[in-house]
Structure 1
């Protein structure tokens, strides 16, 4: 073999070796990247499994019923991005609202709703375990008792008294003569028939230190306070501008103490106020 041919052969062999080496390096790099990707996938999978396990453990340890929480999650998965946009967006908003509500309740603070929240009012009344103590301002509750929500609220209280829970209400009067307000007379009569303990309190009889504290509120089980803030547009027929659920222990104790002090100075209805029970 001539020198030129030998040189060409050696060059070709070196080229093949270089290409082979390069290919091996490429394969090794791909294998390394593949292993890294696989490792990341496995780690992510285990991380998700661990997180799911942790969450399920928290659910089981929660005071809430496990099946109710898992049912919520399962039902939530039935709503997909392919659902009508308005349904998808509405459900997303409700889930966030519920999540924020639970967070605020768990932290033991205050939850605020602008306007009146009927679900809170009815839900708390139906689920109270021992007592419901309410201060009712005539201006705020003037049209409540004959309304649809008022009737449902009364029915929930009727069921509460029937089941042995104590329900008390103080009607704070702007006028000392109950006969001037037939609607209030009727409300007192009906509620007493439902075994709700009713007392009347003239504003002028409220002790001076408590005058500025009198407000429309309900204390459930001496544990949670439901407070409403009336509008000031028409004081004679005020509406609810804001509702608060208060769980702060010191604040709830203040509300319960306010009710007890007003209850002591309030008077029982007599025949001049309300017709006798039949």
Structure 2
């Protein structure tokens, strides 16, 4: 291949890439409109329904209208994007940086695991952002920052529901874990601030260990109730915490009875649902008043 032929091929390749990029970033309505306009112009000319000049003018008019519609659509999208970015100062900067990083990862490393992972992480981020928009924070089961953090900032009332079911590792393993200890320490601090703490234990067997835990929490000032398994519907067997009737926490359990995921929420629907669950269990529980 001669040098001139190589140059022509490279130029053709560049032009082809530029055309494909233009088509990709052009609104579909504009592409359809331009195509129909050119087709109409050719049809008018070939059928002698209009003179050559009239056919050309008809085609140009259609193309102009299509480009105008495309321009309006682009302006609307830019306005919508600016509206979305009106908020905290960091939002506009980080959004453009995020979009640029994802684009670079998918374009520069196309066809590799990097591009696939970039798309997966972006999709995961989108799903998490949607949950945040609904007022929810979803975390792994071993993360307790919402559970302990909300307890430390609770002002008046804390309601909790704990389901104690037989497990291979013991019925009260969670309360003995590092997360459980930190949570109870936050409970004690809340009680010392004057927060009213009410907790219901739903149990299958009233073991000595459970009785000792109940007495320990009662001695600290918490109002603790006991609810035998089978008194309420299985649908109410939920591990939850409510703070000031304005926020809530719910544990999502695995098949082995372990917390696989936990959700903190200020969504009114979530708070109302868990408040109803707690009230039903508390009304059926036995308290030592």
The TM tier, using the shorter chain, reads 0.5 to 0.7
* Cα separation, 2, equivalents of 1:116 and 1:156: 20
Alignment check: 8 A CA contact 2:245 2:271 kept: no
* Cα separation, 1, equivalents of 2:274 and 2:205: 29
Measured after TM superposition, the shift of residue 146 of structure 1 is 2.9
Residue 267 in 1 paired to residue 288 in 2?
yes
Q: Which residue of 1 aligns with 2:159?
A: 133
* Paired positions, count: 220
Alignment check: 8 A CA contact 1:169 1:196 kept: no
* Cα separation, 2, equivalents of 1:35 and 1:185: 82
Cα RMSD (Å) of the superposition?
4.7
Q: Which residue of 2 aligns with 1:42?
A: 71
**Which structure has the greater CA radius of gyration?**
1
Q: List runs of 5+ in structure 1 lacking aligned partners.
A: 1-20, 61-65, 269-278
Measured after TM superposition, the shift of residue 139 of structure 1 is 2.2
Measured after TM superposition, the shift of residue 144 of structure 1 is 0.9
Q: 1:199 aligns with which of 194, 212, 224?
A: 224
- Higher mean C-alpha displacement, 69-78 vs 138-147: 69-78
Alignment check: 8 A CA contact 2:242 2:275 kept: no
* Cα separation, 2, equivalents of 1:69 and 1:164: 39
Residue 79 in 1 paired to residue 101 in 2?
yes
Q: 1:101 aligns with which of 120, 128, 131?
A: 131
Q: Which residue of 2 aligns with 1:220?
A: 243
* Cα separation, 1, equivalents of 2:120 and 2:185: 31
The 1:95/1:220 distance shift into structure 2, 3 A limit, reads same
Q: 1:239 aligns with which of 245, 258, 262?
A: 258
Q: For residues 197-219 of structure 1, what are the alpha-carbon distances to aligned partners after superposition, in whole Å with 9 as ceiling and x for unaligned?
A: 2525263xx8x864765553323
Q: Which residue of 2 aligns with 1:142?
A: 172
Q: List runs of 5+ in structure 2 lacking aligned partners.
A: 1-50, 106-113
* Cα separation, 1, equivalents of 2:232 and 2:91: 43
Measured after TM superposition, the shift of residue 46 of structure 1 is 1.7
Measured after TM superposition, the shift of residue 134 of structure 1 is 1.0
Measured after TM superposition, the shift of residue 257 of structure 1 is 1.6
TM-score by structure 1 length? 0.54
